[in-house]
Amino acid sequence: MRLRALALALVPRSASVSLAARRVAARPRPVDPPRVKPVTIQIGKTMPKDIEDTIVKPDGAAARQDLLKWWDAGHRAMPWRRETPADDKKAWAYGVWVSEVMLQQTQVSRVDPYWRRWMERWPSVESLARADESDVKALWSGLGYYRRCAFLLEGAKQLASANEWPTSKDQWLKVKGVGPYTAAAISSIVYGERTPVVDGNVVRVFSRLAMCGEKPTAKVWWSLAGSLTDGCDRPGAVNQALMELGATACSKQKPSCGGCPLRGHCAAFKGQVVDKYPVVVKKAPPVKVAVCLVVLRHNDRVALVAPQSDRSKSPFRLEGLWELPGTRIEGEPDENAIVQGLDDALRALGPTTKGLRAKKPLSHSITSTRYAVHVQRCDVDDPALYSNVEWVAADDLGTKGCSSVVKKAVDAAAKIDAKRKLPKGQQTLSFKPAKKATTRVSPPPEPVTVTPPSPPQLATPSAFGAYAFAE
């Protein structure tokens, strides 16, 4: 009411302005609604709900036919592959299971000898279930990702005590440490279940076949792979062929499209943009960590620290592995911090002693962590002074469950030259002792024979011109 009265008072009171006009001026001005751009709806077209609606799906039946023709013509021979179905499917499934676990993040050429040694040592699930964990990790030493062998051992114990052997994907998913990929691989290859597999090689193939420009969800990859196994009589062969294709012709760098059986179905090949797929996702920078390791030596033996149940106490955050005494320093420490870390590692076991240190650190990587490993060698006379260690012959390190960095550090320590003396006991790997200077004794002078001068002769022309070149 006060606002209205004020508005009336502001309107000039003249004879030409009526009371009605003054009332209209006193009314509050309406607020204009926000301007919204008109929406155009096209009949018959719908907006994509997710990325699955934007990809180009291949003809599954036709692509499968061409893929199997290529597979049957020839593929790599691997010890765990069977060209014909085996009668003992339980043994076959066990071998495939071991191979698929080993092949995770590991190349075939590296897995081959490990798989052969494993199957010779533990040819059945029952024999693996009775194995000691330290023996399993010792055989696995060098493959990395040691939780894989621990899951194999736990899964074997579970299966050995079970009354029923798994034959389907859903049943294999109940086994300790078995994920969707491994369960699908075993059930399709051994038992012929129509289920797809998705690993890095399969993702690469379908990222080019369907031109997946964005980073799809796992649902998209499983749907694309399923388009080739649905209604298939040989799902195991299809899955193995897809993985083989991704590892060979459809490789990450320089794919061989001329020999690819699916080039007629490949959207990226038709668009001549194969090199653009898969879309590279920028990874986070690696984490940098420094580790100070002490190689305690007594004659030909090396001191190892027993496996830690608490990963936080391990310099490399490893569980259940024998390691060298060491300390962990996050980031890139300076020289003083490295010296202190080496001293702390030695002091935790016994008396400190002068050591010989490698000048350059070793490089070691575990997943996304990059380690700079500083190695110091200490030769001791009385091993009894050092507690909580086990003295192992350097040649027998392969029989212990050790990380590959242990052997690298021991080998580096053995190359340190103990003859060169530097301040603080530091030593270099690249040092070479200087050669002793030798005094050359000149032979006695020969007697000088004086001959009369010969008459001058004219120069003889040569093939190079008027005169021969002087040496």
Catalytic positions, please? 100
Three-state DSSP at 365 gives: strand
Three-state DSSP at 110 gives: helix
- Cα–Cα distance for residue pair 158/71, rounded to 1 Å: 35
Three-state DSSP at 68 gives: helix
DSSP state, residue 319: S
H helices present in 19-107, as ranges: 19-26, 60-73, 89-102
Residue 363 main-chain phi, psi, to 5 deg: -105, 135
Report the run of H or E that residue 366 belongs to, with start and end.
Answer: strand 362-366
Give Cα separations from 302 to 247, 378, 392 (angstroms). Answer: 41, 10, 5
For residue 85, whether the previous peptide bond is cis, meaning omega lies within 30 degrees of 0, is no
Task: Find out whether 96 and 189 touch, Cβ atoms under 8 Å.
Answer: yes
Residue 63 main-chain phi, psi, to 5 deg: -65, -40
Give Cα separations from 48 to 55, 183, 203 (angstroms). Answer: 10, 32, 22
Q: At what angle do helices 218-229 and 60-73 cross, to 10 degrees?
A: 70
Neighbours of 417 (CB within 10 A): 13
Give Cα separations from 253 to 257, 276, 280 (angstroms). Answer: 12, 11, 12
- Cα–Cα distance for residue pair 164/38, rounded to 1 Å: 64
Task: Find out whether 254 and 291 touch, Cβ atoms under 8 Å.
Answer: no
Tokens of 97: 């299971």
